[in-house]
Every structure is written in structure tokens, then in C-alpha cells.
Amino acid sequence: MTRLPSKPDTSSRYREAEQFLAALDPDWQALVAHVGPCIHQPRPERDPYEALIRSVVYQQLHTRAAERILQRLIDIYPHGHCPTPEEVLATPYDTLRACGLSGAKANSILGLAQARLDGIIPDQATALQMPDEELIKRLTTLRGIGRWTVEMMMMMYTLEHEDILPADDFGVREGYRNLKQLDKAPSARVLREIGQAWAPYRSVASWYLWRMPKQAPALAPSSNKVNRAPRSQDKPVRQQTPSSPLYFAIAQCSLGTLLVAESERGICAISLADDAKVLLEQLQEQFKAAELIEADPQFNQRVAQVVAMVEEPTLGLDLPLDIQGTPFQQRVWEFLRHIPVGQTLSYTEIAERLGMPKGARAVARACATNTLAIAIPCHRVVRQSGDLAGYRWGLERKKTLLERERPQKAQR
């Protein structure tokens, strides 16, 4: 990876990059014209240690959810900014967890603090002098830090490298897939080869590709967006007998252990529990004919979106869903997807609105068989008295979700 010579005017460098990319082919020209001028904003004032702390907090979370956790971490310390390594190491583990950090993230942050004291994490001046691959190799030995984190958080933003292509990033690869209208996104290795043509402006090229899926006018709208009106692209009903493999991944979130499974048609299961083994057994029981395959690291990008939805339900889930059930279950679940965040309805109210005034129990059974936690928000259904009823993933989780959503209602 090369670096551009230092130039004082960032906007002029971006203009050069825009002109270069637009001249590549008509697809790039249309993307640059649609998105407009590049406004990539590096953060060179952040030390590499601080950048890595932030990267760990933000992993698998949407920006707003991560910002809240980061602010709770900062608020522990009287000075109101990123804690020093010494301060982190002096902070009780339970105090770090109370900020909303998972156990893995808390341990990663403690490890980063020790690594800074040990000289493994360089200061900014030293990092700027290090060859790219040497810096990547050194920092990816740290717990919770992968190549994507070093390229994105460190090199593109903190160190202002302008020729970085984070080819492992799901958004970049999906952006290129849509740019070229491919059936399948290229692998990271293939994209690195393709991206050679974008040098020495690969950071700016990545910036544009991130904006391709949602902003490019030629893109088809994504289907099954949670909390959105149904679209014509929504997939037809299919019963729970997939013959193809199911890919799954397990992650941690504030509600415990989270399992996400995906069929060839989309996300087909989102489950919560305290024990990963239990979740796997439930998944196999649910999809008896399916071969369960642990997903590759690329699937983690989609898992991250699910975790973000769990932590911040207002975000919705912009991923295809493979919703499987009977026609009646489908009717109930589709209705649930339109209950706004911060509101609840009773089983009786839903039955009446579906034209089944005596169907409250049937609605309750449909809620109990929902396999897509939060994406199909059955936690927003309560008894007619307002009391909480059963919840497949535990009443405490239902209570937590409703309390988490309640402030959103007050802000409307």
C-alpha cells in the first residue's frame, strides 16, 4: 500500500481522487456524480491507542449504540476523555462491564492498555514511520484487533493514509457488487486485485463504495426491512424444511448470547439465551433437515447488523429475512413488524385488528413460535391489562427491551 505525498489542502486531494475515479469507467462516473464530493473526515488528533479503544467499543454495534457505551466508559473518569492505560488497568472489571461492554470487549480494552505500556501499540509519530504491513502484523496480535480494524480505524482515520482498501469489509465488497451489478460480491483477495486500478486513491474509492448500496439510484430497494411497509420484493411463505445448509454464528450482546442463522434466502433465525450450546440445539431442532455450518468471518458483518438492532431497535434490520411459517403465523408476524418502537399492543387488540375478535390465544401462539427475535418484535405484545406475558427468550429480556425502547417513545 502506498501513501500520497503530503499536501496541505485536503479538498484538492479529494477532487483529484474524484476525477481519477470518475474517469475509470461509466459506473464509477455515475457513482461519483450521484454521491457528490468526497467528505471523508479523518481524525488525526486521535492517538493510535485511543483509536483502538474506540474500535473495540464500536465492534458489531451501530454508531449510536456504540457512542452511548463509549460515553459511559469516558464518564467513569473525571477528566472526560479517553482514559490512559494506567487508568484502564486500575478500573475494576465489573465497572467496565457496567458500561455495556461485553466480557470479551472489556478484556480486549484491558489488553490494549497493557500493550500500550509494553510498547506494542506505538504513538502516532512512530506509527507514521512504520511500513503498512509491519504495523498490521504487530497490531493484529492483540486480542480483538483484526486487519479490518487496523486498516479502517488506524490507517484510514487516525493516520490519514489515503491509499487503503479494507477489502475484508462487507460494505466495500457489497458496494462493488452493486456497482458492477454482480450476482455475488468478490472475495477480499479478488477485490484487492481489482482495487489495484484505484491506486493511489483507494481510501476515497472505499468511501464511495460504502455509499453505493443505499444511495446509488440504480440499486433495487432491499427487502424485508424491519419496521417498514412490505415491498413487492418480499419473499413468499416457505415452511420450515430447508434442504440446503444453514450458516450460523454466535455473538455476545447486552441481552446475553445471540445466535444468527442464514439460509440461502436470508436471515432465518435470531435467538437469545445464556448458553451457546442450548441455542445450537434449538436451531438443529427447529431445522431438522438442515446441515448447520459455522459461518466464515464475512458473515460477521451481517451479525454485526443484528447486534446493532438488538442494542438499538430503532435502527431496524436492513437485511433480507427468510420468514418461515403457516399463512396465519405470517399474517401475525407481518402485523407485529409494523408496531412502532416505543408502543405495545395486547393480544386481543391484534386479533381484533386482524378480523379475529376471539383469536387472542391464536395470536399468542403465533408470537410464541416466532424465530426472529426483535426483527419480528413480539416483545411489543402484552396482556390486555398491560402486564408482561410470556416471551420465548425470557421475560427479563422482554422487560429490558421494552424499557430500552420506552425513551424513544418519549422523544417523538
Cite the active site residues. 169
DSSP tag of 82? P
Question: If residue 327 lies in a helix (H) or strand (E), which one and from where to where?
Answer: helix 327-336
Q: Where are the beta strands (DSSP E) in 186-255?
A: 246-253
Q: Report the alpha-carbon distance of residue 331 to residue 251 in Å, rounded.
A: 30
Taking the CA of residue 252 as centre, how many other CA atoms within 13 Å lie in the half-sphere pointing to its CB? 10
The 3-state DSSP class for residue 261 equals: strand
Beta strands 292-294 and 266-273 are unpaired
Cα–Cα distance, 344 to 354 (Å, whole number): 16
How many C-alpha atoms does 135 have within 13 Å on its Cβ side? 25
Return the SS3 of 257.
strand
Cβ atoms within 10 Å of 389's Cβ, excluding its own = 17
Q: Give DSSP secondary structure letters for 132-168.
A: HHHHHHHHTTSTT--HHHIIIIIIIIIS--SS---TT
Reduce the DSSP state of residue 250 to 3 states and report it: strand
- Residue of 43, 100, 52 lying closest to 73 (CA atoms): 100
Residue 178 near residue 220, CB atoms below 8 Å? no
In the block, cell 431496524 appears at: 316
